[in-house]
Every structure is written in C-alpha cells, then in structure tokens.
Chains A and B, each alone.
Chain A
C-alpha cells in the first residue's frame, strides 16, 4: 500500500524479508527487517521528488551499497517513522530583510526542515536512527567567543499559511512578534531553538509549537514564549514528536540578528 504526503509519517508494519521505502524530495530511506535485525540505508535522491511517498518493495529492489547500517533490536513490533526537529538551533535568514516598526505586530509562518527518526513501538520502544532530510549549512550565531553552533537556512517569510506548500519534510512554525519598543526591529535573521519545540501532524501540514515574542528594545531582556498547546491554524492536530529538550524561554536579544558581527576580514 502506497502512502503519500504527510501520511508517510503514520505507523507501518514491515513484513519479514521485505523492504520499506520512504522517498522524500531530497532523500530516500530504505529499511529492511530480518528477524531481530533492522537494516537501514539513507541515500540522497537522484532527482528531486515532487512529493513524499512510502511503500513496501521486494528485497530484490534494494540498492547494493556499503552504506547499509545494521541495528539489533529483539522486541521490535510496529515501526514508527516520526518527523523530528533538528538537534541544534536553526538560524533562519529571510528572503528579504523586514523592519517591524514600533508598536506593530505580525505573524510569520516559517518552514523548518525536519529529520527522519525511525523507532520501534514494541514492549521496549527504541530509537533506531535519525537522519536529516534536507542538507542544512552550519552557521554561527553570536560573537566568536560566546555564540552557538546552529544550522543555517535561507527561508521565505510567509504572512499566511495558505502560501505554504504542504510537504512532508518541512514543519511550519508560527512566529508572532510584537514590537513594543521605540526602536525599529530589523528582522534580518532569527535563531529558533527548535530543540525546545514539539511537533504535530495535521491533515495538510506538519506544525511546531507557536512562538510569541515581544520585543521591548535592544537593551531589554525579553523572553520568547513557547505556546505549549497545538497551534490553532489547522483542526485535529496529533502530536508526533516531543521536544528534544524541556521547553524554556530564551533571550530574544540572542534570537534576532540585528548587528553584523563580522566584516569580510
């Protein structure tokens, strides 16, 4: 049975000596189960796929490769492929630098690439492996002494959820920003601590928790609040993965990049 779209994230049963194949726009994941062994292969897509898909294929079709990874787990029952958020903060560089004027507020819908996590849901559930579905660049947020290593991503700022293309390898993060200061808020880049966010699956899109930020000026410490309930932009959201780290607020001064820290030399 073939599944497409975000239905690929539903629990699946892999028959013995058969292969499961997930195809995402930029990556394919092959999984084979032989008794207590799980064999997993992750390959970059030969050409960009239009949509994600899942199906069971014959073992003869599995690609020969030295990259197959082998895991042993005796209690494996149903297998669960889950979308999870990246393991580090993501610095998002919008396609255009926006300035939020004093007293204004807005909402953006940011697309965050998800990782593929394979786990078993038997007597003792276990995580088998994780793999990014999109190649992200490495970037540094902050000064060279006190910053943090992040994933970098150029992204589009969506003002409406309708303009977001539904894909199985991206989650949508609603970000509400209020500029409660007397100064302009230059929205050049934003650092999202995605390891604090949970994920939800709807009928059309994957979602993360909503974020709510109130900017009170560059000298004021303001927290980025995480809304712990599922975002209300789609009905019937189901939790698919919890946050990697307990959700806490973080300092907005280190969230927005308003200064260019480095010159070209």
Chain B
C-alpha cells in the first residue's frame, strides 16, 4: 500500500524534476564519498609522518571545505542563486557574529593554540583541577579524557587565559617525595638509606642523580625531600614501588616518620610541672599547661 503510494507520487513528477533530483542525489553521494576519500588519503599517505594534531587539522579542513562545496553544488543544482545567498549570508553573518562573540573568541583562541602548540594530542595536561589526556584540539574547544574516564570539554578561550601544565612534554620528569622524620633520628643514616632505596629502584634513573634534601625543621619533625628522575611512562610504577620501599625499609631500620606531637605539662598552682604526657596523632591538642585546682 505504502510502496504503491510512493510509486504513484513519482509518476506525478515531471521528467525534469526527476532528472534534477537524480543529479542532486548523485552529487551528494559522490561528493561525500570524494571528500571522505580525500581526507583518508591525505591522512594515511600524505600526512603519514605528521603529528596527530596536524592530521586532525588537515582532515577537518578537507572535510569542512568539501562539505561546503558539495552544499553549494547541490544548491546550484536546485536553482538557488548563490550570489544572492552569499549576499544574504554576509548580512546574516554580521548579525550572528555580534550574537556569538564568545564563539568567535574561542575560534580565535583556537587558532592561537594551534599555532603556539603548547600541547599535542596524546599529551597529559593539567588545567585548574582537571588532569587528563588530550583527545582532540578543535577550533572551539579541546576535549580531554581524565584518568577516571570522564570526558571534559574546555573552551579554547579559557585555556588561553589559564595556566596550563603539560605533564608529558619532556621525556623525563622528577618525582618529589616529601615526608618528615622524627626529631632524634640520625640524619646521615636517613640520607644513606634513601640513597640506597633510590639506587635499587628499577624505575628510578641513576642519571640525573636522585636528589636528597633535608628541607626544614618543622613542627612535627625534619622535612626530607627525595627527588627521583624517571621516564614519563614509568610514573605509576615508580610511585607505587618507592612508597612501599621507603615505608618498608624505614620500618625495618627503625626510623620513625614525623607525626604531630604535643606535650601536656601538668603543674600544680603555678609550681613547676611534675609530669609530662606526649600525645601523638593528627588531632592532638596544641601544647598547653594545665593548672590543677587547689584543694
């Protein structure tokens, strides 16, 4: 029944309309196939050795230009006068431009980002509180995938005005492990043990040499920094192994980490304190003198 209706409808059309419809269909199909073919050929053969980012830009330029040409060809085939349309488009463009200043700002920012190349597809970047791998760099925004598998779109304008850290730009990085050791520990022994741990770790580079710094006398202990260089792909392996090794070795050697430590002195009516209690733990009260009431 339905097919019959369609057949009848086609029979009512004049041969001229049918021919034109056929030509439009062929233009669309052939045009889209050609554009797709051009994009694939350019990516696989011409831009084979280019970066992913360049490949993506070229693919998008080919696609957008190609689709525009196909659209113009189809409109021309349908008898739409392109000169009038383009004139109208100019007027509409001005109106749209005023109404979409943010988008234009994003596009211009995108052009700056593409030319400046602060990062590329596949880099790990940090913007504000968001850290992830760049999936695409487009004219309006960049798309990143976070390590907990969230998709985040960041407008280019925001990137241009924010501090962006490219974590994987350079082939090696330094990981700083900062902790405190209890007062009273033999610091030269701590230094020696840390050097041994760093030397034995398979992920830590021996050149540049590991850095061991006794940073500061802190409230709860002496702050120590162990800086280890590593190849950027070994971040997780180094982090997990070094934390285990420091904890295990310090435990075995009897070296205590610094904890918040408070002394509570109990004095009797202004007399010198007779007993002292040490309180350890994150929620220890601040140091204070407690005066016992007189009888």
Contacts and interface: CB of A to CB of B under 8 A. Distances in A.
Interface stretch (B16-24, B58-66, B140-148, B199-207): B199-207
The interface centre, meaning the residue of A149, A262, A265 with most chain B CB atoms within 10 A of its CB, is A149
B209 A140 contact: no
Contacts of B211: 264-265
Given A144-B170, A149-B171, 7 more contacts: A138-B202, A138-B206, A138-B230, A144-B171, A145-B171, A152-B206, A265-B211
Interface string B177-211: 00000000000000000000001001111111101
A147 B207 CA distance: 11
Interface residues of A, number: 16
Contact of B209 (A135, A141, A262): A262
B226 to A, nearest CB: 12
Interface of A: 91, 135, 137-141, 144-145, 147, 149, 152, 261-262, 264-265
A149 B231 contact: yes
A152 B231 CA distance: 14
B172 interface: yes
Given A149-B231, A265-B211, A137 B206 contact: yes
A140 B229 contact: yes
A135 B203 CA distance: 12
Nearest to A148: B171
Contacts of B213: 265
Interface residues of B, number: 18
Contacts of A261: 208
B117 to A, nearest CB: 15
A135 B200 CA distance: 10
A144 B172 contact: yes
Nearest to A154: B206
Given A135-B202, A149-B171, A144 B231 contact: no
Interface of B: 170-172, 199, 202-209, 211, 213, 227, 229-231
Contacts of A262: 207-209
Contacts of B204: 138
A97 to B, nearest CB: 15
A138 B208 CA distance: 10
Contact of A145 (B170, B206, B229): B170
Contacts of B203: 138
A140 B202 contact: no
Contact of B205 (A135, A139, A264, A265): A139
Contact of A144 (B199, B202, B206, B208): B208
A115 to B, nearest CB: 16
Contact of B207 (A91, A135, A145, A264): A91
Contacts of A147: 171-172
B209 A264 contact: yes
Nearest to B213: A265
A138 B230 CA distance: 8
Nearest to B199: A137
Given A144-B170, A265-B211, A139 B231 contact: no
In the A-B complex, list the 10 residue pairs whose CB atoms are closest, starting with the nearest.
A262-B208, A139-B207, A137-B206, A139-B206, A152-B206, A138-B205, A140-B205, A149-B231, A140-B207, A140-B172
Contacts of A140: 172, 205, 207-208, 229
Contacts of A139: 205-207
27 contacts: A91-B207, A137-B202, A137-B205, A137-B206, A138-B202, A138-B203, A138-B205, A138-B230, A140-B172, A140-B205, A140-B207, A140-B208, A140-B229, A141-B207, A144-B170, A144-B172, A144-B208, A145-B171, A147-B172, A149-B171, A149-B231, A152-B206, A152-B207, A261-B208, A262-B209, A264-B211, A265-B211
